[in-house]
């Protein structure tokens, strides 16, 4: 189960903290953090095509909740297998959004290595990173509200297209989510 949240996994942490001082690791994490920030910015700007291009053709994109993940339930909220499915999903979202008067602002916290990561920080083979996030929804009348919080569990790789997501699992903190999620994370 290499997809764990790392709860109670302490084996890699001292290693992690040593890695912080390694300029190669800093370089990789800085690159990953920029990709995460760019993806968040693309959604906020409603540049969905740009967002989709940040994923590899064979990407796996999922949205789940903290509770589902902790209990090992199958992924339920959203599941896209490959860039084609992701683009189809986005296309339908864009059409839906035409009628929406609200938009979103993503805040991302500092990107860190996934718990337990020891030395596998090679962008060619893929690096697993976690990033906390929150999304604020701004309604057409100017009202703001906290829409969602959670963390991105990402695997990033370098490719001919530049740095990309090979895998993104969006883990939402709250199990109370809109049944029709029309915004990607």
Instruction: State which residue, 34 or 96, has the beta carbon closest to a second copy.
Output: 34
Residue 151 has a CB neighbour count (10 Å cut-off) of: 21
Instruction: State which residue, 38 or 62, has the beta carbon closest to a second copy.
Output: 38
In the complex, the smallest distance separating the C-beta of residue 153 from a second copy, rounded to whole angstroms, is 11
Give the DSSP per-residue string, 64-89.
EEHHHHHHTPPP-SEEEESHHHHHHH
Residues 165, 119: Cα–Cα separation, whole Å: 19
Residues 30, 46: Cα–Cα separation, whole Å: 24
In the complex, the smallest distance separating the C-beta of residue 141 from a second copy, rounded to whole angstroms, is 7
In the complex, the smallest distance separating the C-beta of residue 81 from a second copy, rounded to whole angstroms, is 22
Instruction: State which residue, 67 or 81, has the beta carbon closest to a second copy.
Output: 67
Instruction: Give the residue among 164, 167, 168, 179 at the shortest CA–CA distance from 35.
Output: 164
In the complex, the smallest distance separating the C-beta of residue 140 from a second copy, rounded to whole angstroms, is 9
In the complex, the smallest distance separating the C-beta of residue 80 from a second copy, rounded to whole angstroms, is 20
Residue 156 has a CB neighbour count (10 Å cut-off) of: 26
Residue 8 has a CB neighbour count (10 Å cut-off) of: 7
Instruction: State which residue, 7 or 71, has the beta carbon closest to a second copy.
Output: 7
Q: What angle do CA 83, 121, 158 make, to 5 degrees?
A: 35
DSSP-based three-state secondary structure for 105: strand
Instruction: State which residue, 85 or 149, has the beta carbon closest to a second copy.
Output: 149
């Amino acid at each position: 189960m290499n997809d764990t949240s790392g709860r109670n996994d302490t084996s890699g942490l001292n290693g992690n903290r040593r890695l912080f001082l390694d300029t190669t690791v800093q370089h990789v994490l800085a690159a990953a953090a920029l990709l995460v920030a760019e993806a968040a910015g693309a959604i906020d700007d409603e540049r969905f095509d740009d967002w989709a291009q940040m994923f590899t053709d064979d990407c796996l994109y999922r949205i789940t909740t903290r509770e589902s993940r902790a209990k090992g339930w199958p992924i339920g909220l959203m599941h896209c297998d490959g860039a084609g499915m992701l683009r189809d999903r986005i296309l339908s979202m864009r059409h839906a959004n035409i009628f929406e008067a609200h938009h979103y602002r993503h805040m991302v916290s500092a990107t860190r290595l996934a718990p337990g990561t020891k030395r596998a920080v090679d962008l060619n083979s893929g690096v697993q990173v976690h990033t906390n996030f929150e999304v604020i929804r701004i309604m057409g009348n100017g009202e703001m509200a906290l829409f969602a919080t959670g963390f991105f569990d990402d695997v990033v790789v370098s490719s001919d297209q530049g740095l990309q997501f090979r895998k993104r699992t969006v883990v939402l903190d709250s199990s109370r989510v809109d049944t029709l999620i029309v915004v990607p994370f």
